[in-house]
Structure 1
Amino acid sequence: MNKTIRHTAVFSLLLVLALLVRATWLQAFEAKALAENDRNHRTKIAQYAQPLGDIIVAGSPVTGSAPTAGGDLAYQRTYTDGAMYAAVTGYSSQLYGATQLEGIYSEVLDGTDSRLKNPAEAITGRQQKPGDVLTTIDPAVQEAGYRALGDTKGAAVAIDPETGAILGMVSTPSYDPTAIAALSDPDAAATWQKLLDDPDKPLVNRALRQPLPPGSTFKLVVAAAALEEGRYDSVDEKTDSPYPYVLPGTTRALPNDIPGAPCENASIRTALRYSCNNVFAELAADLGQDTVRATAERFGFNDEELDVPVRAYASVYPTGMDDAQTALTGIGQFEVTATPLQMAMVSAAIANDGVMESPHMVSEVVDSAGETLESPGDGSSKRIVSSRTAEQLRSAMVTVVEDGGTGSNAQVPGAEVGGKTGTAQHGENNSKTPYAWFTSYAEDAESGEKVAVAVLIEDAGGPRSEVSGNGLAAPVAQRMMAAALS
């Protein structure tokens, strides 16, 4: 064999070896990544080859599957009352992927989760029947919140304080996931683009992922810090709170929301009843940012890993402030932000004797035979404040609702209701429409059943003079609490 032929043979052998190595690498190490790649159409064919599993509310599915008109994908996702439940389910779209519970449990719902396969199927790779996701949502509470919010831009969350189960999660304006579910739908792309371009952001789950200044609802956290630190023995002890109150190091006097209210040196009960800014700004400055932050973080602020199981954006209590900025945080302003979920958690912990149960909206994930794969509701609980502090705060919150305070629109017949209103500044020098908040709890007088609710009205579309927590947010909370206790 001459030299040229020998070199060619060796080179050809090296090429063959390189191809074998590459093929082995793809099959052994990159097969899973390639199979899960969004551009792999075979994955979509397998995903929609059979009806998907369902997301269940109170024993009934709010999702479904329908045969497609043709093409490679045999089935498409459908939704019952899709807009009402979109903040819970998210969407499963052949074009745009999956979000919320649809995304988190996609492998259970399409039958590819390894826990669904028996040993024979694991060997053959045959796709198993899909499983289902059982939620904690109460359909009456969900509908009450959705109908009450109506056309406003806002969100609401209801929690069972004793279990952490999320009974309702609503975000408006909403959208119908069915409209973007099918690849074969000629209108799906146009609908998707319209949703993306909508300035009201209907695809955003405001209940979990739109932290905004909580305004005076944050005063509950400051009150908890003051009581826990022993600054005052009870909510009825007078505070050292001058009025007018000048922010430390400035000449700016902080106004109160209700002109003429008895806020000078007011007790915490009176200060919550009339939402006295001077009392809570002074308390925050006196306690100091580190103490207020520590209490806020016990309630869940600054938690970047809060999963319910959908990941919630962190509610924030800031750092590195001067005394004036710290005082402003005492009334839920400066750089304090919160989600409706977070403020519902505050009321839930107070209602549950100072103990917070992990919030969750999935009770069980099951296979096609109903056997449990996981129980996300088996979460942890932790004490946030003492039993005495919680009792004191509940008493003061009841005053806000039932004794001529700022939350009178939240009253529920036959139940003890406590709450706190909030109106948060929006825009430079409060130039934009303020946010209206309400956070509350209700306890049925006969059964002892409890519920905690937080409502945010981001924009009701009316004049700013009509924006108030009691006028806009409290009626939504009232309807959700009444539905939960009925």
Structure 2
Amino acid sequence: MTKELRRLGIMVLFMFLSLFVATSWIQVVSAPELNENPLNRRTLYDSFEVQRGSIIADGTEIATSTASDDIYAWQRQYENPDVWSTITGYINPVLQSATGLEQAMNQELSGQSASAFFQRLDQIISGQDPRGSSIELSLDAAVQQAAYDGLTSRGYTGAVVAIEPSTGRILAMVSTPGYDTNQLASHDSDAVNTSYDGFLQADPSPLQNRAIAGDLYAPGSTFKLVVASAAIASGDYTMDSTFDNVASYTLPGSTHVVSNASGGTCGSGDEVTLHDAIRLSCNVPMAELAVELGEGAIREEAEKYGFNTSFETPLVSTASSYPSLGGDDAQTGLTGFGQGQVTATPLQIAMVAAGIANDGVVMNPWMVDDVIGSDLSVQQTYDPTQFGTALDADLADALTEAMTASVQDGAATNARIDGVDVAGKTGTAEGDADEPYTLWFTGFAPADDPQIAVAVVVEDGGGQGQSGSGNTIAAPIAKEVMEAVLGR
């Protein structure tokens, strides 16, 4: 009998230990993964009952929680919401949804992240109400405002992304039109549903983050930077390599004729250098170069800048695409000047400029510097990380020289800043025959000591159909954004 009781006791003890280990594993080890699972609605529901931490940009709280007199206890409030809607998104118990950083950093903001373990423990022991952690962003308020004003003051639909080249820290991210996130944070179910339906039906949609997602754009001539980079990285070309200077080029195996934007040759002379093809933004030599390089070499170089990769900033970007073209030389030639099947986000094009600016080293983009506990302790700090190397430093310098010449006396002169050398590249992407162009600019400043890399995209030709250009429409906005950094 004693032996049987001992055996039963051991079995019960074993079962108890197994249960203890299993529950401890779930609560401690697996908790972060379970909390971040989008199918786990409990985490979202719990976050409505907690005083969420603030989202802070440049020392200003752009998202805070205030006490409410309804069943949800706390309501989110947003400052200058149209400017910051691209970043913050919204959280709302009525809609039972969250977007932007409210979704991506929900664990931190609701105090449920692993880094907030001791904060939660202290709150339990001391009997405090649960509070979330705050997040401090890398974004610069003046730069964000300049980007927003640059687009909205002109009535443009588009996006701006600005990056610190040496670190990958995002200084600005704007998508227009923006929207009032407070309308979607309301606890009035009728009002919030009316607002949400209105935003869904609006054209263009304010809920689409054009900076990192949505319907991706043809990058136009900004992609010439990637093609030129692939060429000089191969060792078979330099920026002084020459091409026949002709006014048109029939793509191999097709009847499609490529022409320069001017309709003529790429400057004067019988030959044109790669340097001048970038400076003057000529299509014909870049299409020829793309065919010579082949799609594999271009794709390999594009991927070194981040193409075909999704980034978490922590907002998740749609991967820009340089797809397999099946050895189609005609399609490869089109990608030589950013047409055909290549697509990109403004974030990606900003990363191309930032990589060139940073001596060929491409940094992972990020927009959160620190997570701060309710006791003001720093719970987590994010450090710069390297994505990869696209070019050797001397080759990046040579490409920078061509980009600088483009701003000084080439195709990107509207990005000039008095007393500062700016490196830049315009883009004018065509769609169907009667569609307005998509207009681009990307670049960095100062050219010899880069503090900011920027990409600007404007949809629908900036209201000018097919008569506008990247230089006339996008470059002036980029200039204002760069000046906001250089003048701070």
Q: What is the DSSP-based 3-state SS (H/G/I as helix, E as strand, rest coil) of the residue aligned with 1:467?
A: coil
Partner Cα distance (2:463, 2:116) in 1? 51
Number of residue-to-residue matches in the alignment:
452
Please state if 1:391 is matched with 2:397.
Answer: yes
Matched, 1:346 2:352: yes
Q: How do 1:80-479 and structure 2 match up within 5 A?
A: 80-96=79-95, 97-118=97-118, 119=121, 128-150=130-152, 151-184=155-188, 186-210=190-214, 211-233=216-238, 235-240=239-244, 242-262=246-266, 265-304=271-310, 306-319=311-324, 320-403=326-409, 405-427=410-432, 430-443=433-446, 448=449, 450-459=451-460, 462-479=463-480
Q: Single out whichever of 168-177 and 379-388 deviates more from structure 2.
A: 379-388
Distance in 2 (CA, whole Å) between partners of 1:361 and 1:338 is 20
Distance 1:406 1:148 in 2: 20
Question: Which amino acid is 1:90 matched to?
Answer: G
> What's 2:14 paired with?
none
Cα distance in 2 for residues equivalent to 1:130 and 1:394: 45
SS in 1 for 2:442: strand
Q: Distance in 2 between matches of 1:252 and 1:37?
A: 47
Structure 2: where are the runs of 5+ without partners? 1-18
Offset of 1:34 from its aligned partner?
11
For the 8 Å contact 2:167–2:384, the answer to whether it is kept is no
Q: Deviations over 1:234-259 (max 9, x none)?
A: x2332246442111112332111113
Cα deviation 1:422-457 (Å, max 9, x = unaligned): 111123xx3211100111111177xx4521000000
Q: Distance in 2 between matches of 1:41 and 1:323?
A: 52
Q: Conserved in 2, the CA contact under 8 Å of 1:35 and 1:43?
A: no
By how many angstroms is 1:203 displaced? 0.6
Aligned-residue offset at 1:272: 1.4
Q: How many percent of aligned residue pairs carry the same amino acid?
A: 37
Task: Report the counterpart of residue 73 of structure 1 in structure 2.
Answer: 72
Relative to 1, partners in 2 of residues 1:442 and 1:34: Cα closer, same or farther, differing over 3 Å?
A: closer
Q: Is the 8 A contact 1:112 1:127 kept in 2?
A: no
Contact 2:247–2:260 (Cα < 8 Å) also in 1: no
Segment drifting more, 93-102 vs 375-384: 375-384
Check the 8 A contact 2:439/2:461 in 1, yes or no: no
Q: Is the 8 A contact 2:361 2:386 kept in 1?
A: no
Equivalent residues of 2:159, 2:456 under 8 A apart: yes
TM-score, normalising length: structure 1:
0.86
Provide TM-score, normalisation by structure 2. Answer: 0.86
Unpaired stretches in structure 1, ≥5 consecutive residues: 1-23
Q: Which amino acid aligns with 1:116?
A: A
CA–CA distance in 2 between the matches of 1:237 and 1:40? 59
- Aligned equivalents of 2:387, 2:77: Cα separation in 1: 36
Q: Secondary structure at the match of 1:76?
A: strand
Partner-residue secondary structure (3-state), 1:385: coil
Contact 1:62 / 1:79 at 8 angstroms: preserved in 2? yes
In 1, Cα distance between equivalents of 2:36 and 2:349: 41
Identify the residue that residue 54 of structure 1 maps to in structure 2.
54
User: Do the aligned partners of residues 271 and 39 (structure 1) sit closer, same or farther apart at CA in structure 2, a change above 3 Å counting?
Assistant: closer
CA RMSD of aligned residues (A): 2.7
